Structure formats: structure tokens, C-alpha cells
Structure 1
Amino acid sequence: MSVRFKRILIIGTGLIGGSLCLNIKKEHPQITVVGMDANRHSLEGALEAHGIDEIGTDFASEVVKADVLLLCTPVKQTMAFLSQLNDIKLVKPLLVSDVGSTKGEIMTLVESLVNEQLRFVGGHPMAGSHKSGFIAADVNLFENAYYVLTPSSTVTAETVEHLQDLLKGTRGKFVEMTAVEHDQITGVVSHLPHIIASALVRHNQALVEQLPMTKKLAAGGFRDITRIASSDPAMWTDILLSNQEVLISEMKDWQGQMSDILNWLESADRQTIFNFFASAKNSRDALPQRKSGAIPAFNDLFVQVPDHPGEIAKVTGILAGANVSLINLKIIENREDIFGTLQLTFKNQQDVKIAYDLLTQDGNYTCYEK
């Protein structure tokens, strides 16, 4: 079906946009992909990697020539580009989609646009990384991840199918829902957890100033459960303000739950506290494993290594010999025995499995995932 598309304009060639470029060019090499981005390094990287064929210079002139427009920018920027479309005289239908983390504001704006040539299908691929720029782009980023679509009221089912066909190289799982449903779900499973993680880090920092040892002891589990607090602050400010109504309601509910727990603790209500933890454990254990969701999964492998000279080089050498690329390596410092722990981060779970097999087969390393 996608042979109907000859030219695509992608605004934003960072992690998400760059990965989509790679997917589209791999699946549909005959399509011309034009990229635009304020970050010249991302554009040049996408061009060099053959993720895009051309670099665009003017939004209005490129839009007129395009069959598809993919807006891979933060929500507020996406809305600014959408507003411009109202004033551009299109000579043919233009399929437009985005990758915004919230959908309510975007879909409300889209429904107000009067350009009859626009065919808008909102999108949100539920995958990502805490890295940014085209250098972090990965053709496998969206594999088996949920890719949410929120069609506008004027598009047909056929238009949605055309978009899915264009993006089939992502190997994602397409699901349709309304903007309201999307924002409610992501508010609970993604946005609120980011707020809580950031609040925990801020709370911890206050104690660090009083008791400096806190920082070292937080290097283990605390650092893991608050890892999402390392996300881009500008992006998350944008997300919170874009999903304001949902998050105000959810945070009030959360405050109510914290008040309940405080009351149980003050009254030393052992059974209710036990039931609270037991219920949470059962719910947590029932969650799908190794599935991509609203919060990006961490493709980490933890490796215990003896405290001998050259051990880190040996580990990285084993991986390099099998052409397995690391995107991050950290030495966890809160161990006091003869073994240290390396936290190795990979692009995907396939590389994690390969690394696990290589290092455990070597015989000198104990590996585990969290």
C-alpha cells in the first residue's frame, strides 16, 4: 500500500525520529525521506546513515511537496508546526502524524484546523531511551513495542492502514484509542512515576546534605528505582503541562493514598500494612515481563567481576569480539567484598542475551538482570 507515498518529510531526527527514518528506509527504500532538525549533527548523522535522503531547509515548501509529514518533536513544538499547516496551501492530501507523549492538546488543535487536505493520525510509539540525538537511533527501537494511534474524526480506516503500512518496519504493535484514554493511561503508568521518582531524588538530596554517606548507600537499589528521574527536564516539563488535568487528579489520588499509609503507620496497623504490601506484590508479579510499555525498559546486565587488574578490559574485549556494542558502562561502588559489579547497558534485549551467554560461558563471571 505504501507505494502511494513517494516523499516523506520528518521534522526531528533525534532518537525517535531518527529511528523511524531508519525503519522507513529499510522497509521502503524507494521512498524519498527528507529530514529537518535544528540540531545539525542529528541531520548529518541521519544523512550519513542513509536514514534520510535529503536535508530540508524550509518547512512550508517541503510540506507542499510531501505525501506524509511526521512530526517527531516535543508536544508544544508539534502544535506550533500543526498551526502553520492551516496557512499552507496544499495541492494534494497530506497524511500527518506525530510521536507526542500526550495526545489531548494535539488532537483538540487538529480538530480545529480547517485545511481540508490534512489527514491527521496521532501517534505515540511506546519506546525510547534516556539517550538522545540521532547517535542513539536504533532500527530495532520499536520492535514489539506498543505504537498507539489516535485518528482524528475526519480520517478513514484506510488512511490509518496506510500509515501502519508505512511504519510496518518498526515491527511495533499498533493499537487505537482515543486521546482521553491515552492520556489517562500514560498519566498513571508513565507521567506520575516520573514525578514520584524525581520527588524521591529531591527528598534524598536533602538527607545527603546532612548525612553525606547517604549518597554512597543510594548507589544500589535507590538509584535503580529512581533512574527515570534522569530524563530530559525540558521534555518532562512539557509533558506535565500538556497532561495537566489528568495529572492534577492523579496526584490528588496519590496524596490520598499516602495519607492512608501514614494513618496505618501512626496506628501501627500491622495487618493493613501487610495487606498493602501483599496486594502490591501480587499486582507487580502479574505484570507482563520483557514487554515494552509506557516507560522505556532498561536493557541492563549486571556482571560481578573479581577485583583483579584488567578485568573490565577483559569483559569489554569478550563483547567486542562478538561485535556486541555497549551504550553505557558503570562501576557500582557500594560493594565491599572481593567482587565488584559492572552495570552494562545495551541497545536492546537481544544484545543483553548475547552478552549474558558470552560472559557466563567464560566461567569467570556471574551475570544477572534486575
Structure 2
Amino acid sequence: MIKLKLAILGVGLIGGSFGLAMKAKLGSEIYITGSTRTKESSECAEKMGAVDKSYTDNISAVKDADIIYLSTPVLQMVPIVRQILPHLKKGTIITDAGSTKQYIANKLHAILPQDIYYVSAHPMAGREKSGVSAATKELFKNRCYVIIKDREMPVPEKVMEKVRTLIALTEANITELDLVQHDRCASIISHVPHITASALVWLLNRNYEDIEACIKLAGGGFKDTTRVASSNADMWSDICLSNSVEIINNLQTLQDIINDVITAIDSKDREKLYDYFSLAKKTRDRIIKESKNIYEIE
């Protein structure tokens, strides 16, 4: 007997991995529908077992769903909710995997009726590959999965617990933050590093005369540092626009730090350079030690 109907809108890397994790733990106790942009992706999602049935339209996917899992780029989420809202049954729970939370929450507060619930969440997981073909049931394992407690639009505890229980099946490490703190911290830990990784690739690309020689020297350090620059461009464009204030603030701070390093190099100040690298090493080593077995550092 099917106990739960889950609809995943945007069955790509994240949505596909969530579906695979649910199927691995619940089997026939859950029926999963999904939506993708192309017929090829729909066929792939079904063949992999990430969903039981996939569609190329959202309305077909959400019919009779108990829980909606949004895993599209951030700026697509609110228009999708507007589209599917007339087709949802009372008591439906909407959750998401968006990397920015305040923007989505503000928009959904204005349109959701009292009998449709939204639980904001964010899995701190990903790969440099995108699309459902890159999905894996273990993507979230030992990773941090944030559930947001929204004071402006609280939901009943039983609703929170239902989402919490579902997410726990992924074997992620669940933590709870408020909206503002999440967006601020995600900017530092995830968003700015992705922008910086892409900037390093742009730096390589701008050295046209030496690019072939540079590529020959591109070993593990360069590949590790820039790995996330291979991430989905649609997703990261939306993240930048939907968390712009925090990202700009932290990019400006990063710019100040780089300027300090430039000044130290230009003035041959070895002591300042040593302190720069030494403090960075101590801080990262401490983070790695404290985060061991809590989440995987990318």
C-alpha cells in the first residue's frame, strides 16, 4: 500500500538524488512523480528509478501529491508554485532545495493559502556534474542539510516533523537556522567560493598567450580549487541574483583581503604574508577537525 505521494519538480542532480534516496529507503511505500524539461531527462529519471513516473509539465506531476519537492534553479521556484497552486490539495507540503531562502520565503508568504504549508530547506550538497544522470542516492549522506525555521510564516510542528523525517532518510546531518543567518552563512561558505572558483578560470582564460603552457601545469591544486566552477550556470546565476546583498558584501570583503595581499607583496612584507597564510591554515585546519563526521568539506 502506498503511504506517501511525493512530487519532485526539477528532477536533476539534486531532485534525482533525493528521489533515489527515498526509493532506497521506502521502496513501494512511496510513489514519486517528477517533472523535467525534456522527454529525454524524463526517460532517464524513470530508468534510473529516481521517480516512478516523470512528466515534462509540472501540473501533471503534482496531481494528488502529499509533498512537493522543488529542485529547480531558485528564480524558477515561485513561478512554478503560482502555476501548480490551483492544482494542490489541502494540506500539501511544499519544501525546496534552494540555495537562497529569504527571497523564496518572501514571495511565497504572499501567495500561499493557510492550508498549504511551506518548509524551507537547503541541502549543502552537489557535484560538478549536473542533470539527473549524475544523481546518486548517497549525495546527501553525511552532508549538512539545513531546515529553516521561519518566524514570519511558521508551520505546525507535525508538518516540520514530516519533512524532517523524510530528509533524515537521506542520511544527511540536519541542522536548523533562521532565514537571515542561512543566507549570510551560505554566501560565505558556498556562494562566494563558487564565484571565486569561476574567477580563477577566467584568470586562466585571459592569459591567452600562456594558456596552453598553463594547462600543462594545471595539477591537483588548480583542479581542486576550481572544481565547483563546472557547476550549473543557470543555478548559480539565480543564486547570485536572489542573494545579492550578502554576496556583494562578502565579495567586497574578499576584495579588501586581496588588496591587503597585493600591498604586502608589493612592499615585500614577508611577515604579513606569513601571517596571511598561517592564519588561513590554522583556521581551515580547525574547521576540518571540528567538522569531522558532521559534513563533508568540499
SS at match of 2:37: coil
* Amino-acid identity (%): 35
Deviation of the 1:268 alpha carbon: 2.1
Q: Is the 8 A contact 2:19 2:50 kept in 1?
A: yes
Report matched runs for 1:200-279 at 5 Å: 200-210=200-210, 212-279=212-279
Residues of 2 paired with 1:200 and 1:262: CA distance? 16
Deviation of the 1:15 alpha carbon: 1.3
Report matched runs for 1:7-22 at 5 Å: 7-22=5-20
Deviation of the 1:84 alpha carbon: 2.7
Residues of 1 paired with 2:281 and 2:141: CA distance? 28
Determine if the alignment matches structure 1 residue 165 to structure 2 residue 165: yes
SS at match of 2:120: strand
Q: Is the 8 A contact 1:67 1:93 kept in 2?
A: yes
Residues of 2 paired with 1:149 and 1:163: CA distance? 9
Corresponding residue for residue 142 of structure 1 = 140
Residues of 2 paired with 1:122 and 1:224: CA distance? 31
Q: Is the 8 A contact 1:190 1:294 kept in 2?
A: no
Q: Of 110, 113, 118, which residue of structure 1 is paired with 2:111?
A: 113
Q: Is the 8 A contact 1:90 1:117 kept in 2?
A: no
Cα distance change, pair 126–211 in 1 and its aligned pair in 2 (3 A): closer
- What is the number of equivalent residue pairs in this alignment? 293
Q: Give the AA of the match of 1:105.
A: Y
Corresponding residue for residue 133 of structure 1 = 131
SS at match of 1:174: strand
Residues of 2 paired with 1:161 and 1:44: CA distance? 33
Residues of 1 paired with 2:145 and 2:211: CA distance? 44
Q: Is the 8 A contact 1:127 1:293 kept in 2?
A: no
Deviations 1:28-84 (A, max 9, x none): 221221111113233222322333222346534553511111111110111211233
SS at match of 1:286: helix
Corresponding residue for residue 37 of structure 1 = 36
Corresponding residue for residue 53 of structure 2 = 54
Gaps in structure 2 of 5+ consecutive residues: none
Deviations 1:262-297 (A, max 9, x none): 2222322222221111111111211226667597x3
Q: Give the AA of the match of 1:49.
A: M
Corresponding residue for residue 99 of structure 1 = 97
Deviations 1:159-200 (A, max 9, x none): 111112223320111111112111111111111111112112
Deviations 1:317-360 (A, max 9, x none): xxxxxxxxxxxxxxxxxxxxxxxxxxxxxxxxxxxxxxxxxxxx
Radius of gyration: which is bigger? 1
Higher RCO (C-alpha under 8 Å, 6+ residues apart): 2
Q: Give the AA of the match of 1:283.
A: T
Cα distance change, pair 274–44 in 1 and its aligned pair in 2 (3 A): same
Q: Give the AA of the match of 1:284.
A: R
Q: Give me the TM-score of the superposition, normalised by structure 2.
A: 0.89
Q: Is the 8 A contact 2:33 2:62 kept in 1?
A: no
Question: Once superposed, which parts of structure 1, at least 4 consecutive aligned residues long, lie more than 6 Å away?
Answer: none
Residues of 2 paired with 1:44 and 1:90: CA distance? 25
SS at match of 2:140: coil
Cα distance change, pair 114–237 in 1 and its aligned pair in 2 (3 A): closer
Residues of 2 paired with 1:268 and 1:186: CA distance? 35
Q: Is the 8 A contact 1:47 1:53 kept in 2?
A: yes
Cα distance change, pair 245–50 in 1 and its aligned pair in 2 (3 A): same
Gaps in structure 1 of 5+ consecutive residues: 298-370
Corresponding residue for residue 74 of structure 2 = 75
Cα distance change, pair 5–38 in 1 and its aligned pair in 2 (3 A): same
Q: Of 121, 124, 130, which residue of structure 2 is paired with 1:123?
A: 121
Deviation of the 1:210 alpha carbon: 4.5
Deviations 1:115-144 (A, max 9, x none): 222110111111111122222211111111
Q: Is the 8 A contact 1:36 1:55 kept in 2?
A: yes
Deviation of the 1:90 alpha carbon: 4.2
